[in-house]
Amino acid sequence: MTIKRVALITPPYHSGVVESAGTWLNVGFVYIAGSLRAAGYEVDYYDAMSLWHKWPEIKARIEAFKPDVVATTSFTASIIKALELCDLAKQINPEVVTVLGNVHAAFCYDEVLKDDHDTLDYIVRGEGEVTLVELLNCINAGGDPATVNGLAFWRNEAVVVTPKAAYIHDLDSLPTAWDLVEWPIYTYRAKNNARLAIISTARGCKSQCSFCSQQLFWAQTWRARTAENVVDEIEMLGITYGVQVAMLADELPTYDRERWEKILDLMIERQIPVKLLMETRVDDILRDADIMWKYKKAGVEHIYVGVEAGSQETLDLFNKDTEVIQSKQAIDIINGADIVSETSLVLGLPDDTPESIAQTVELAKHYNPDMAFFLAIAPWPYADLYPQLEPYVFTKDYSKYNLVEPVIKPKNMTVEELEKELGKAAQKFYMHKFQHLHELTPWKQEFMLSVLDIFINHSYLAGQMKAAMKNGKDMPEEVKALMRAVKGHVKGQELDRHSALAPIP
């Protein structure tokens, strides 16, 4: 067969988490689509997840485009939907080549291929821009895919794994396909549905967190685009596509202080109006305390730092390489710069109890981030920590590995008790925050009211927040009135759905 047309399709998986704050594009597909087009292939960038499309709509899109290849992507929680997508593609056209990438398949290729080799042809185990193009070129030339690095596939009743592909070091040279993005659907709810982009300025992670997939996927390497290249892209996205907010997808955007400070300086110098959302490490915030004013002036509005745990013992278990006291210092620095601070704390470990969870909530109040999320630990089956947690895993239904639904049963709690405590943790923290709303700066107060609207009307936390409203006896009357008004604003409305069938390119 001759491959000409490639459909890049996100699986229609939803957990109510990322959808709460807005609609997020798949930046990986922007790069892969760019590389495919540069190699002469016709590409359909189809974000079925963000469009909230169901199987009949996805089927119609595939039938209309008539791809020779359907490539999809999957983190652990979406793997089931990704494989269902491959199956659908084969039902439509048994000759279509199906390809799966991203972190879950990269590590669990044995399990995936043994169970689903009838519908899945190839797994790309690393970066897709070079490997996918080389695979398709190889097939078109009648070659043997076993000669292409970075693959796993099924042959002769066994899994074939080719050598690991080299990392792409010149990230500035990668072509992009921003023109294929269906921009109207990507919005950031916390800023009046401002147009939202996701950008990647660096790849890799030098940390060793034992629960995380990224340091494994990138083998503790780190590569970055130049500051000029990054800022040029942000400026272009604002001018050409009307982007108002950009989230940095990087695990460690600030790892190289000199490069990061140059990005900030260029954003300030060019007066680029695009606001930035980002995550970074606690120790990088401590390092950058003297230039936080540049963060603010450059348009950084929201910083997530992963506190993860309230005890040093748990931090050490997670290999966070930070101290509890440093987390408080970093959040204070972010707040001091009048930037929204966000963190997360992982709950549901084997030794957790209602009392330990309550202590974690109190610690979160002490840390005083603007936003805190209490996540159910999801032991990725390939993470360093998995062997220690596996005896407590009570379900292998990967769709539940979404950091909201518990998949571990603590020693001294039932699963139902853990679910209840997770909800109460968020409820208690945010009721505390809104009791102290008046202590925030005016712009942060406005932001937090948008967050409240999201929680009550659009979030997986809606139930807990509405229950808190009924029990908010100690809350100032003006805040209770505010919450009632927000609740009534879109009463009964579910998360936004984008029902329109996107155009075929």
What are the start-end ranges of the H helices in 93-222? 103-107, 109-116, 128-140, 214-217
Confidence of residue 25 (pLDDT cuts 50, 70, 90): very high
Which pair of structure tokens corresponds to residue 338? 């009048």
pTM: 0.87
Predicted confidence at residue 68, as pLDDT, reads 98
Predicted confidence at residue 103, as pLDDT, reads 87
Nearest to 276 by CA among 223, 229, 224, 231: 231
Residue at 386: amino acid letter: Y
The per-residue pLDDT for range 351-394, each reduced to its tens digit, is: 999 999 998 898 889 899 999 988 888 887 777 777 888 899 99
Calpha distance 245→35 (Å, rounded): 25
Calpha distance 102→82 (Å, rounded): 11
Domains of the chain: 5-161 (3.40.50.2300), 186-435 (3.20.20.70), 436-497 (no CATH)
Calpha distance 259→504 (Å, rounded): 39
- Residue 245 β-bridge partners: 196, 275
Which pair of structure tokens corresponds to residue 377? 């630990």
Calpha distance 308→322 (Å, rounded): 11
Highest mean pLDDT among 222-226, 291-295, 370-374, 422-426: 291-295
Residue 204 main-chain phi, psi, to 5 deg? 125, 170
Calpha distance 231→201 (Å, rounded): 9
pLDDT at residue 502 is higher than 60: no
Helix (H) or strand (E) holding 481: helix 477-489
b/e burial code for range 31-49 (CB count within 10 A of at least 16 → b): bbbbbbbebebebbbbbbb
Ramachandran region, residue 395 (left: φ > 0; alpha: ψ -120 to 50; beta: rest): beta
Report which of residues 464 and 450 the model is more confident about.
Answer: 450
Calpha distance 40→63 (Å, rounded): 21
Q: Lay out the sheet containing 245-248: strands in order across.
A: 187-188, 194-199, 245-248, 275-280, 300-305, 340-347, 371-376
Confidence of residue 238 (pLDDT cuts 50, 70, 90): very high
Predicted confidence at residue 385, as pLDDT, reads 74
The predicted model gives 452-459 an average pLDDT of 71
The per-residue pLDDT for range 79-114, each reduced to its tens digit, is: 999 999 999 999 999 999 999 999 888 888 999 999
Calpha distance 103→265 (Å, rounded): 34
